[in-house]
């Protein structure tokens, strides 16, 4: 099962490698991992998308909690939550493809944020699924580059991850 | 001249904080932590620290002959006391040599602080001389580590290091200090308290869970107590014994838990697991309620987890580390907390209840256990001609009246030590269980002997293991450590040979060591006493002689039967009930 785990950790050098090292040492999956400082500069927030049986997910949260730099761990996918990911896609946009690319970006509510004679950069935000479908919907031969941020997530309503 | 530590009153009277160098601060901090011994080895990156060490005599330094031994010695010191062991090593090769020792301590949850030198901050990342990424290399085998980049952080970091090492599930903590940081100066004050928002180990167990556990225990027909190293680490053995007596249940100890409940007690079924007794393994497998206390269901203990779980039983598990619970085996009643507190609560709750398990309720179970016990799975054929290793250990037990500190290395001799030396007290059995580090025994015994001057300290080793840290004979001479080394010399890497005999068609690939030294002479060359013992009739005399030499290290080189095997044995991946009891079962 796919899980989205959010953590608050000390914003210290090495904290990220403790988390990523834990996943590789214990053979846990990482589908994506994003991290950045929060409004409290001493804390970073990380979102990890992982998968595994219930037992493995239980071990993952326990092992993460054990890391001294980790302040809080929540499996946000256990309840209603929102996920978003950002993608930038550079596509070839010449001739008739130019119009077609613009149309596809509009359908997916993407924005064209860079234009050259032969290419566009399209910015798209959404769930992993939505980004996947966009990539699936355009002609793969026209994709020059894709870059994805990995998933960010937050619980819905009153559920707050804070110290 | 270095000022000795000022009395607290005087410091506050003087008011102003002192300005000290990083190196001075490190030594002050160690004094504040009441560190008696630092085990270490000097080098460029720690020269300022060594300079300060020499200017005071509160913290004593023990100069080992290899950094691995420094960490094992600090480890032995910690295991035999309830204190934190301390080691000091230089950057680069000093650290890499120490890694085996750090991993050994980590696997057995031993509280330790390792201070390592690092190249100067400006040189970090430049592939400087003797630079390694110490924090990176040690990260997977420490409870936590720090790189101190500012002299003002030294005191608070060392305070945190000791706090983290000894609280919760204990473990080694490394503090890496660049050379320039140890030379910089700042105002010094040792913090009185530590607060870590991200680290708050749970102490008290959940009362509802404890009540639930007692409910299960009182109803049990085939109960079993399975107690591990956590009991020793928590200094909770008296409480464990009290609870065990109140309940009247059978108990078994893991290799790490030996001494947690007296081995000579009737309720104790001995060690369980790969080389456990029939009664312990069968009891573990066929019980209906299992009370697991500070034990982590290791693969050497339960064998194949699927086979273990094929028998229905309720499991109660007390552990301070939530990740130890339901890791390999699903648990019914988890209790997270410090054993000492949880056992207190259990005892109190039990005392306040009128109910007690009726002896009749578990009588048939005890009968079954006694039947298993009557098969005497630890019986071996002694001989008047060939020296049996088991006999050497039994004689050691007899001569020391079961009261020595026994450190061991890794191999068959380790298992015989665990099986035939009946430990009645905790912290007497010093061995590497989790990592299984050959070379651990002798240096660990040095730490034990320094912590307990005047007490008998023995090392049970093999001719393979002892050679992995044999250079420490020199350290023992320098510090006059009268350790007794009992080498069960079978001319084989015996544990490897046993597996090759059982599972690899008797092909003894590289498990025989040719050209062994004359160990007695080698010991003599280091300035000690060495004796070679070949006949069973000479064993007791030799051991008595060794222990009567109060001031000498004595190396006893026992020429034991090279073909002897450790029984019972559960083959890796098999179920606990599937025991090989003797060569005839092969
Ligand atoms: C050659 C060889 C053969 C071996 N054969 C066997 C064998 O036959 N049988 C055997 O048992 N082992 C054997 N071992 C050892 C085995 O590998 C493990 O090291 C050992 O079984 C683990 O012991 P333990 O479960 O008691 O856990 P430990 O490693 O001692 O762990 C202690 C547990 O207690 C918890 N704890 C610590 N402090 C506290 C506290 N204050 N409060 C609450 N909980 C706490 C910890 O979180 C941890 O879960 C062998 C090793 C070697 C090298
Ligand atoms: C550092 C290290 N290397 C290899 C091993 C694998 N190993 C386990 S037991 C053993 C043999 C030990 O031989 P010896 O010390 O003579 O003890 P014996 O088994 O003969 O009693 C070996 C090689 C180990 N545990 N540790
Ligand atoms: Mg041997």
pLDDT tens digits for B409-449? 999 999 999 999 999 999 999 999 999 999 999 999 999 99
pLDDT digits over B343-379, tens only?
A: 999 999 999 988 777 889 999 999 999 999 999 999 9
Nearest ligand, CA B500 = 2
Interface test with B, best of A22, A66, A67, A161 (most B CBs within 10 A): A66
Is pLDDT above 60 for A142?
Answer: yes
Nearest to A72 by CA among B171, B325, B197: B197
Conformation bin of residue B294: beta by default, left when phi > 0, alpha when psi is -120 to 50? left
pLDDT digits over B488-534, tens only?
A: 999 999 999 999 999 999 999 999 988 999 999 999 999 999 999 99
HSE (side-chain half, CA atoms, 13 Å) at B549: 21
Are the C-beta atoms of B416 and B510 separated by less than 8 Å? no
For chain B, give the mean pLDDT.
Answer: 96
- By Cβ distance, the residue of B147, B164, B198 closest to A70 is B198
| Residue B502 designated active-site | no
Mean pLDDT of A18-28: 97
Contact yes or no for A58 and B326 at CB 8 A:
yes
CB-CB neighbors (< 8 A) of A59 in chain B = 323, 327
Full 3-state SS string of chain A: CEEEEEEEEECCCCHHHHHHHHHHHCCCCCCEEEEEECCCCCEEEEEEEEECCHHHHHHHHHHHHHCCCEEEEEEHHHCCEEEEEEEEEEEECCCHHHHHHHHHHHHCCCEEEEECCCEEEEEEEECHHHHHHHHHHCCHHHEEEEEECCCEEEECCCCCCCC
Task: Look at residue B16 in the predicted model and tell me its pLDDT.
Answer: 65
pLDDT digits over B206-263, tens only?
A: 999 999 999 999 999 999 999 999 999 999 999 999 999 999 999 999 999 999 999 9
At B177, list the tokens: 């200090």
Interface test with B, best of A11, A68, A69, A72 (most B CBs within 10 A): A68
HSE (side-chain half, CA atoms, 13 Å) at B497: 18
Contact yes or no for A66 and B198 at CB 8 A:
no
Q: How distant is the alpha carbon of residue B241 from its chain centre? A: 21
Task: Look at residue B584 in the predicted model and tell me its pLDDT.
Answer: 87
Pairing, β B37-40 against β B85-89: parallel
Task: Please check whether residue B322 touches A, CB under 8 A.
Answer: yes
| Residue B129 designated active-site | yes
pLDDT digits over B258-276, tens only?
A: 999 999 999 999 999 999 9
Residue B1 pLDDT class (50, 70, 90 cuts): very low
- By Cβ distance, the residue of A58, A62, A71 closest to B197 is A71
Report how far residue B413's alpha carbon sits from residue B389's, in angstroms, rounded to the nearest whole number: 7
Is pLDDT above 60 for B6?
Answer: no
Contact yes or no for B323 and A63 at CB 8 A:
yes
Report how far residue B376's alpha carbon sits from residue B372's, in angstroms, rounded to the nearest whole number: 8
Q: Report whether the peptide linkage leading into residue A25 is cis, meaning its omega lies within 30 degrees of zero.
A: no
Which residues have C-beta atoms less than 6 Å from ligand 2? Answer: B 409-413, 436-439, 462-465, 488, 490, 492-496
Full 3-state SS string of B310-375: CCCCEEEEEECCHHHCCCCCCCCEEEECCHHHHHHHHHHHHHHCCCCCCHHHHHHHHHHHHHHHCC
Report how far residue B405's alpha carbon sits from residue A141's, in angstroms, rounded to the nearest whole number: 73
Task: Look at residue B355 in the predicted model and tell me its pLDDT.
Answer: 74
| Residue B484 designated active-site | no
Task: Look at residue B513 in the predicted model and tell me its pLDDT.
Answer: 85
Task: Look at residue A71 in the predicted model and tell me its pLDDT.
Answer: 97
pLDDT digits over B287-331, tens only?
A: 999 999 999 999 999 999 999 999 999 999 999 999 999 999 999
Task: Look at residue A102 in the predicted model and tell me its pLDDT.
Answer: 96
Residue A163 pLDDT class (50, 70, 90 cuts): confident
At A160, list the tokens: 């707050």
At B98, list the tokens: 């120490």
- By Cβ distance, the residue of A13, A62, A163 closest to B323 is A62
Task: Look at residue B357 in the predicted model and tell me its pLDDT.
Answer: 74
Report how far residue B556's alpha carbon sits from residue B547's, in angstroms, rounded to the nearest whole number: 11
Nearest to B443 by CA among B459, B429, B455: B459
Residue B583 pLDDT class (50, 70, 90 cuts): confident
Task: Look at residue B359 in the predicted model and tell me its pLDDT.
Answer: 84
pLDDT digits over A74-83, tens only?
A: 999 999 999 9
At B455, list the tokens: 């007490």
Residue B15 pLDDT class (50, 70, 90 cuts): low
> How far, in Å, is the centroid of ligand 2 from the Cα of B134?
28
Mean pLDDT of A47-63: 97
Q: Long-range contacts: B506-515, Cβ < 8 Å, 24+? A: B513/B463, B513/B464
pTM: 0.96
**Percent helix, strand and coil across chain B, each to the nearest 5:** 40, 20, 40
Give the environment of ion ligand 3: residues with CB less than 5 A. Answer: B 462-464, 490, 492, 494
Is pLDDT above 90 for A13?
Answer: no
Task: Look at residue B17 in the predicted model and tell me its pLDDT.
Answer: 77
CA angle at residue B296 from A46 to B99, to 5 degrees?
65
The dihedral built from the CA positions of residue A72, A77, A80 and A82, taken in this order, carries a sign that is positive
Report how far residue B419's alpha carbon sits from residue B560's, in angstroms, rounded to the nearest whole number: 17
Is pLDDT above 50 for B2?
Answer: no
Pairing, β B314-319 against β B333-336: parallel
Task: Please check whether residue A70 touches B, CB under 8 A.
Answer: yes
Task: Look at residue B14 in the predicted model and tell me its pLDDT.
Answer: 52
Atom 30, ligand 1: residue with shortest CA distance: B229
pLDDT digits over B62-106, tens only?
A: 999 999 999 999 999 999 999 999 999 999 999 999 999 999 999
């Amino acid at each position: 099962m796919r899980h989205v785990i959010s953590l608050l950790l000390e914003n210290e050098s090495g904290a990220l490698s403790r988390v990523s090292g834990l996943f590789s040492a214990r053979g846990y999956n990482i589908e994506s991992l994003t991290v950045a400082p929060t409004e409290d500069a001493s804390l970073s927030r990380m979102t990890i998308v992982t998968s595994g049986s219930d037992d493995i997910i239980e071990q993952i949260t326990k092992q993460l909690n054990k890391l001294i730099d980790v302040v809080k761990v929540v499996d946000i996918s256990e309840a209603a939550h929102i996920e978003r990911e950002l993608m930038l896609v550079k596509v070839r946009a010449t001739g008739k493809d130019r119009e077609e690319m613009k149309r596809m970006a509009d359908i997916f509510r993407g924005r064209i944020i860079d234009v050259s004679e032969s290419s566009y950069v399209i910015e798209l935000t959404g769930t992993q699924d939505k980004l996947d479908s966009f990539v699936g919907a355009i002609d793969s031969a026209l994709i020059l580059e894709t870059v994805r941020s990995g998933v960010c997530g937050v619980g819905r309503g009153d559920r707050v991850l804070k110290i | 001249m270095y000022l000795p530590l000022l009395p607290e009153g005087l410091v506050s009277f003087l008011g102003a904080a002192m300005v000290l160098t990083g190196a001075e601060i490190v030594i002050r901090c160690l004094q504040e932590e009441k560190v008696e011994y630092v085990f270490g080895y000097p080098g460029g990156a720690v020269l300022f620290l060594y300079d300060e060490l020499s200017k005071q005599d509160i913290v004593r330094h023990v100069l080992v002959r290899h950094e691995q031994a420094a960490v094992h010695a600090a480890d032995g010191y910690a295991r035999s006391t309830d204190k934190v062991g301390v080691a000091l090593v230089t950057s680069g090769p000093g650290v890499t040599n120490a890694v085996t020792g750090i991993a050994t301590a980590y696997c057995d949850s031993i509280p330790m602080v390792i201070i390592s030198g690092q190249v100067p901050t400006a040189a970090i990342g430049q592939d400087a001389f003797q630079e390694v990424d110490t924090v990176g290399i040690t990260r997977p085998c420490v409870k936590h580590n720090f790189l101190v980049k500012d002299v003002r952080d030294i005191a608070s970091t060392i305070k945190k290091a000791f706090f983290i090492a000894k609280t919760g599930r204990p473990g080694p903590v490394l503090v890496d200090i660049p050379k320039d940081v140890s030379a910089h100066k700042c105002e010094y004050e040792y913090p009185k308290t530590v607060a870590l928002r991200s680290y708050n180990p749970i102490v008290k167990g959940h009362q509802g869970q404890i009540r639930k556990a007692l409910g299960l225990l009182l109803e049990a027909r085939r109960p079993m107590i399975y107690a591990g190293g956590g009991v020793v680490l928590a200094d909770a053995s008296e409480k464990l014994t009290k609870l065990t007596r109140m309940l009247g249940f059978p108990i078994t100890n893991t290799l790490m838990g030996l001494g947690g409940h007296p081995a000579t007690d009737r309720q104790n079924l001995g060690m369980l697991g790969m080389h456990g007794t029939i009664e312990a393994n069968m009891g573990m497998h066929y019980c209906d309620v299992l009370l697991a206390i500070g034990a982590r269901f290791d693969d050497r203990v339960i064998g194949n987890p699927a086979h273990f779980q094929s028998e229905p039983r309720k499991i109660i598990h007390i552990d301070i580390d939530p990740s130890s619970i339901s890791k390999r085996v699903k648990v019914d009643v988890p209790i997270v907390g410090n054993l000492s507190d949880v056992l207190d609560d259990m005892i109190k709750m039990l005392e306040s209840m009128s109910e007690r398990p009726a002896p009749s309720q578990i009588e048939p179970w005890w009968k079954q256990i006694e039947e298993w016990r009557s098969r005497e799975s630890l019986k071996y054929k002694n001989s008047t001609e060939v020296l049996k290793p088991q006999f050497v250990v039994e004689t050691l037990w007899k001569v020391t009246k079961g009261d020595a500190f026994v450190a061991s290395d890794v191999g068959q001799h380790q298992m015989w030590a665990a099986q035939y030396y009946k430990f009645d007290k905790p912290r007497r059995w010093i061995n590497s269980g989790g990592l299984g580090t050959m070379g651990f025994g002798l240096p660990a015994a040095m730490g034990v002997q320094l912590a307990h001057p005047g007490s008998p300290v023995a090392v049970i080793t093999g001719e393979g293991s002892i050679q992995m840290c044999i250079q420490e004979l020199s350290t023992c001479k320098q510090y006059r450590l009268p350790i007794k080394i009992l080498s069960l010399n079978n001319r084989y890497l015996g544990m490897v040979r046993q597996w090759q005999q059982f599972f690899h068609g008797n092909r003894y690939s590289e498990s025989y060591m040719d050209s062994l030294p004359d160990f007695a002479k080698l010991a003599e060359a280091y300035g000690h006493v060495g004796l070679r013992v070949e006949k069973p009739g000479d064993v007791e005399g030799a051991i008595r002689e060794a222990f009567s030499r109060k001031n000498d290290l004595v190396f006893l080189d026992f020429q034991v039967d090279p073909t002897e095997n450790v029984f019972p044995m559960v083959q890796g991946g098999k179920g606990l009930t599937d025991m090989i009891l003797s060569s005839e079962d092969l």
